[in-house]
Structure 1
């Protein structure tokens, strides 16, 4: 007698607070990134140390003349890449102008350092307050300890390597295993929440002269204000990479199921036979 085919049941995966803070974070981080690029465009170059050595940026986006035309050039160390239309020199054909990132990637779209800072500070406070609500509530209810911290067994090298192989082969958890985050998810979320995002906040504060005056240990902690700016930019890049991988996993593992879980809290898993 053949076994009955697997059936799907809905399980409660995300609490209301988790869902609300998730969507607020999506808006806040998107506008933080776009307004941050607007601020970066005021001086599209990065340095290490306390001061800007204008002749020696380790990253820069500039417009230069080549064969009678202007082109965009992005430099990363000794590497030089022509990026006309995207970085350094962008805009509609015939209306291009020198700017680090294109207008469609910045908030606001027009060139304004002052408005970019206003947008950035507003969404920075929204992000921080939202994060404090999330952390406080989930520490108190045990969600972080119970669901987000990897167990000793999950951190075993053999287990981690098996999960890496499964993800590379697009083999996603089913049944009871789908109720919980796997080790790679926990490590990725933990790295973002506990390391990258706090670094973003601290390096962002370090770039404020008023904060530096009252807390001179902050610039020293990061090796100078320009180093803090570079770390801030790199952390933003890591967050973008995390979001892209996150979106890819959402698409590959089931768009509607993942969206439903973050809207209603309910997630469909496969169970054998009549198991509930």
Structure 2
């Protein structure tokens, strides 16, 4: 259940524990770990950048004259003088003191969108956050282009990522198997996994790259059509944030499923390329 799958025909002899197959090529493993490292720094530095103006809008403009805010994280003072952190989503506010809007120790609170432990640097420093963010963004883009090109050439994209009609028809069974934690260790993805990985690799990754470019004034001058596609820089910023949230959710589910499916086997496959199947267990599942 690793994020990338590239099954080849090469395999070791079958043993009582199952057949060992070469699951991940070296290009797959390198891009996987490059993404993992890059996304870690992109997330923390991105939240640092967000904290400079912890509010999201829909549209081409923002400010006091516009009522197009969809999300804000701010500290607000009540009539009795107490200050609390509030997160406002589509006009509805929630007290999120201690996490969003206001965090840190009670005797020395920090008034910021995301808490210090979630940003890089931990203190408010927009300039450093932008340097870190842009540095790892180019590593992320390079890994994506390398993966996409190699996947097209090797057939990995069509074979292992894009779901077939048979995968679509088998979706109800795939969902039922996952809900019951019944995993088929045959080294291949089922339809549910393919849809998840295709959504991340072919939808969220391109979206987060393009919206990031749309927020750059330099790219606005070179490619003004990006602003038209995403409806303005503010909308692009909101989509960028939502893509980040989707990736965090995917990461948490991904790690949980790796642990549930057998972490040693899964980690070995994405580090060395070799994966041990469990043919006996698969036969029991299909019985």
Q: TM-score, normalised by structure 1?
A: 0.91
Q: Structure 1 stretch 48-57 or stretch 132-141: which is displaced more?
A: 48-57
Specify the alignment match of 1:145 in structure 2. Answer: 158
User: In the aligned structure 2, how far is the partner of 1:269 from the partner of 1:24?
Assistant: 26
Unaligned runs of 5+ residues in structure 2 are 1-14
Q: How does 1:1-276 map to 2 (within 5 A)?
A: 7-54=17-64, 56=67, 57-66=69-78, 67-156=80-169, 159-174=170-185, 178-272=186-280
- Structure 1 stretches of 4+ with a deviation exceeding 6 A read none
Deviation at 1:258, TM superposition (A): 1.0
| Contact 1:6–1:271 (Cα < 8 Å) also in 2 | no
Cα displacement string for residues 162-188 of structure 1 (whole angstroms, at most 9, x for unaligned residues):
1111111111114xxx22111111111
Describe the SS at the equivalent of 2:102: strand
Cα displacement string for residues 124-169 of structure 1 (whole angstroms, at most 9, x for unaligned residues):
001001111111122112221222222221122xx11111111111
Deviation at 1:6, TM superposition (A): 6.3
User: In the aligned structure 2, how far is the partner of 1:262 from the partner of 1:50?
Assistant: 42
Cα displacement string for residues 214-255 of structure 1 (whole angstroms, at most 9, x for unaligned residues):
222111111111111111111111111111111110111111
Q: TM-score, normalised by structure 2?
A: 0.88
More strand by share: 1
Deviation at 1:271, TM superposition (A): 2.5
| Contact 1:39–1:117 (Cα < 8 Å) also in 2 | yes
Q: Structure 1 stretch 14-23 or stretch 51-60: which is displaced more?
A: 51-60
| Equivalenced residues, count | 265
